[in-house]
A and B are shown apart, each in its own frame.
Chain A
Amino acid sequence: EAQVTQNPRYLITVTGKKLTVTCSQNMNHEYMSWYRQDPGLGLRQIYYSMNVEVTDKGDVPEGYKVSRKEKRNFPLILESPSPNQTSLYFCASSPPTGTGYSGELFFGEGSRLTVL
């Protein structure tokens, strides 16, 4: 089954304790991206990756890191989480087109993070 898998789905942590949210896709997509979703603000892009070893900042990258060492995996790292990073996080991937990527995103199930 074609899917994007995120882990953990739910996490409560404390300020400053490093954490990693994993994301893996089995569709051989080159494009992957991380979003956070907050009430009234919609989905905002954190980081994206056009291919292995190619990453770039989205709209709200502060406090986050990513890496893309393999095509299928795109982990999101919070080095020192703070309460304002409490949010619902989505990983997504997209098939390529001749102009980069299609914009048709396949989303993971989401990871709800609470930072106390």
Chain B
Amino acid sequence: QKEVEQNSGPLSVPEGAIASLNCTYSDRVSQSFFWYRQYSGKSPELIMSIYSNGDKEDGRFTAQLNKASQYVSLLIRDSQPSDSATYLCAVRRSGGYNKLIFGAGTRLAVHP
């Protein structure tokens, strides 16, 4: 079992719809969770971080964390073609263990 798992996609949604990206992780002691966006041929860029159970909203993006279910998700409202990219989920363990584990990413395609 991979430490961080994501559906590879592609996830195809129409413009204006809500895109829902999901991520599960195996290590219960994980404390910090991140979503990175990576356009084709570019480097990843951080778009959301979440540390506590519940929802965190930033513009059209909402990150949701459920530590009991070991599940983190990213919702993109009013999806735009410019949101088409690969979204990487990353999980950091707590304490002095300085490792950030990445999922393989979900490719999102928003079509007009």
Question: Chain A: residues with CB nearer than 8 A to chain B?
Answer: 31, 33, 35, 40-45, 48, 50, 56, 58-59, 90, 99-110
Contact = CB atoms under 8 A, between A and B. Distances in A.
Interface of B: 8, 32, 34, 36, 42-46, 49, 88, 90, 92, 94-96, 98-100, 102-105
Contact of A108 (B32, B43, B99, B104): B43
Contact of A50 (B8, B34, B98, B104): B98
Main secondary structure of the interface of A (DSSP, over half): strand
B98 A105 contact: no
Nearest to A39: B104
B102 A110 contact: no
Nearest to B96: A100
Nearest to B41: A110
B42 to A, nearest CB: 8
A103 B103 contact: no
A56 B17 CA distance: 44
B14 to A, nearest CB: 27
